[in-house]
Chains A and B, each alone.
Chain A
Amino acid sequence: MLSLIFITTGIIFNLLGCIGIIRLPDTYNRLQAATKCVTLGCCSILFGVVLHFGLNDAGAKALVAIPILFFGSTVAAHALIRGTYHFGIKLGKKSVKDDYKEAIK
Chain B
Amino acid sequence: MRYVTVFILSLIFWLLLTFRITLPNLIVGSVASIICSAVFTRFFIKNVYKLLQPHRYYWFIIYLFVFIWECIKANIDVAYRVLHPAMPIRPGIVKVRTTLKSDLARTLLANSITMTPGTITIDIIGDYLYIHWIYVRSEDPEIYTRMITGAFEKYIKKIIE
Contact = CB atoms under 8 A, between A and B. Distances in A.
Contacts of B93: 91, 95, 97-101
A5 B62 CA distance: 25
B82 A24 contact: yes
A91 B82 contact: no
Query: In which size bucket is the chain B interface?
Result: 35 or more
Interface in A71-99: 71, 74-75, 77-78, 81-82, 85, 91-92, 94-99
Contact of A23 (B75, B82, B94, B95): B82
B92 interface: yes
Contact of A94 (B91, B118, B122, B123): B91
A36 B134 CA distance: 12
Contact of B16 (A17, A36, A60): A60
Q: Binding site of A, secondary structure by majority: helix, strand, loop or mixed?
A: helix
Contact of A33 (B20, B78, B121, B139): B78
Given A56-B19, A74-B111, A100 B82 contact: no
A75 B87 contact: no
Interface in A6-25: 13, 16-17, 19-20, 23-25
Interface string B94-131: 11000000000000001100110010111101001010
Contact of A74 (B19, B87, B94, B114): B114
B44 interface: no
Contacts of A92: 91
Interface in B117-161: 118, 120-123, 125, 128, 130, 132, 134, 136, 139
Given A24-B82, A32-B120, 6 more contacts: A16-B79, A24-B89, A32-B78, A36-B115, A64-B13, A91-B91
